[in-house]
Structures are given as structure tokens and as C-alpha cells.
Amino acid sequence: MTNQLSSKTAIVLGVTPGNMGHAIARRFVDDGAAVLIAGRRKDALVSVAEEIGAQWHQCDITSEQDLDSLVATARDLFGRIDVGVNATGWGLLAPFEETSKDDLERMAATQFVGPFQFFQRLVRNMTDGGSIIQISSVTASIMFENHAAYMGTKAGIDHVIRCIANEYGHRGIRANSIAPGGVADAPMSAGGLNYPPIRSLYLREIPLGRVGVSEDVANAAAWLAGDESSFVTGQVLHVSGGQTLRRNPSIADFVGAHAAEQA
């Protein structure tokens, strides 16, 4: 445990037990920050808040009213907001031509419009600098099949982060994205990465020779939240073991690996 965030207050939005938001919030608390966690499920928030020693507030990122209430609660609790993290996401897998309008609208609301409106409220309420952190994905940079809606909205909000960095730097507000690869202990990707044939495909594409874990992402978030990164803004920090130097496995790779396992 360190005290590098002991003077900081933080909102972490998109927290549910075992996900990256959970790991980030835990790390912030361990580093001394006062933390307000948020997400859609009250039971999940209560569980995590009790475990790590954080405050909680129920919030659906697609609701402007919820976002207003979340930010107001943080101001009431802490007096100011130093750090805001968006760790929400929806890992839709659907062939391009089969992605429906309803899918697109839900994806845009969750991964573009909602984050955009969250960040608007953060910059309005950050009065003495601040750090905004978006959890992105390596797939915003490298290809993965049947994932276009997810990938496109992640890439789009990464560029919004650059816009915030450009337009609000004069106020000392920094904005950055963290782009993990597959995370073996997070709900969205753990299933595949803990299946040996799939895991081996990813290990082939990761120069550092292991899959990621939530702690890797939390470490990066703690650094971006703290003063040691005070001259870093407008960046996408890849936390993937170097996977973007190579590629994601293809659907054909997955099919072949599964067939070999069954043979």
C-alpha cells in the first residue's frame, strides 16, 4: 500500500464484482484516495464498497439524471472531484451484417454518448485540475472479427479523450485512455482466456508471454490518477503486454483450436 493518492478524490463508474472497475477502485483506496464507486446494480455496489472501503452511488451511464446525481453526490461527499474513471462497457459480439439498429443504439448509448456526457460533467466540476481516465481496448487499434460496434465506439471515445486533453489542458485537466488486451480475471474476457486452447492463441500474440490481469490495468490507472503522470495527457496507454505489435487471433484460429482440442 502507498499513499500516492492520499490527497485525491475519485469517481469510478462501471464497477461490478471482479471487473476492472472493481480492481481500479480497490487500488485507489489502497493508495489513499477517497473513492465513490458507481454502476447499475445496487447489490453489486454495496458488496464492493463494503469490501474495499468506498462510498457507492447507483448510476446508469445512459441516464443524464443519474450522471447529474452521481457527480453532485461526489461533490457533496468530498467537496471536489480530482479523478474520474469510466470503466463501463458492453462486449457485444455480432457479425457486421447482423448487428441491428437496436444493438447500435444501445452500444452508442453505453460506450459513446454516456461516456461523453459523463466527461462533460467531470470537466464542469473539476475546479483545480484533474485526471479523466477512459478504459478502452486494444481492439480500438487492432482488428477483431464480429466486434465492429464495440470497437468503433471505443475508438471514437478515445478521440473524444484527445479532444478533452486539447481543450481543457489550460485548466490543468488531463485526459487519457487505458487500452487493455484480454484480461484473464475480468468477466468480459475471462471465459476464453481461461480455456487453454484459446489462451495459447493469445500467448502467441503477446510479446511479454502472459495474459493480462485486472491489477495491470489498476496499476496504470493509479499512475494516471496521481501526480507522477502530471505531464501526460491525450494518450492511449496500451496495457496489453505488447499485443498491438502483433494481432488478435482470428475466428478461424478459434475454430481450429477448439477442433484440435476436441479431436
Q: Report the share of the chain in percent with pLDDT over 70.
A: 98
Q: Domain range holding 146? A: 9-185+212-241
Q: Going along the chain, which residue ranges are E strands? A: 9-13, 34-39, 55-58, 83-86, 130-135, 173-180, 236-239
Q: Is residue 152 part of a domain?
A: yes
Q: Is residue 251 part of a domain?
A: no
Report the distance separating Cα 52 and Cα 50, nearest Å. 6
Q: Give the CATH number for residue 118.
A: 3.40.50.720
Total domain count for the chain?
A: 1
Q: Is residue 3 part of a domain?
A: no
User: Any catalytic annotation for residue 150?
Assistant: yes
Q: Is residue 156 predicted with pLDDT exceeding 70? A: yes
Q: Which of 178, 216, 210, 205 is nearest to 89 (CA)?
A: 178
Average pLDDT over residues 103-127: 98
pLDDT of residue 60: 98
Where on the phi/psi map is residue 32: left (φ > 0), alpha (ψ -120 to 50), or beta?
left
150, 168, 195, 202: which is the annotated catalytic residue? 150
pLDDT by residue (tens digit) across 30-78? 999 999 999 999 999 999 999 999 999 999 999 999 999 999 999 999 9
**Contact predicate 74/118, CB 8 Å:** no
Q: Is residue 15 predicted with pLDDT exceeding 80? A: yes
Q: How much is the pTM?
A: 0.96
Q: Is residue 190 part of a domain?
A: no
Q: Is residue 259 part of a domain?
A: no
Q: Is residue 196 part of a domain?
A: no
Q: Is residue 234 part of a domain?
A: yes
| Average pLDDT over the chain, rounded to an integer | 95
Q: Is residue 25 part of a domain?
A: yes
Question: What are 236's strand-pairing partners?
Answer: 177
**Contact predicate 184/232, CB 8 Å:** no
pLDDT by residue (tens digit) across 127-153? 989 999 999 999 999 999 999 999 999
pLDDT of residue 191: 62
Q: Which residues contact 239 (CB under 8 A, 6 or more apart)?
A: 178, 179, 180, 181, 212, 216, 217, 220
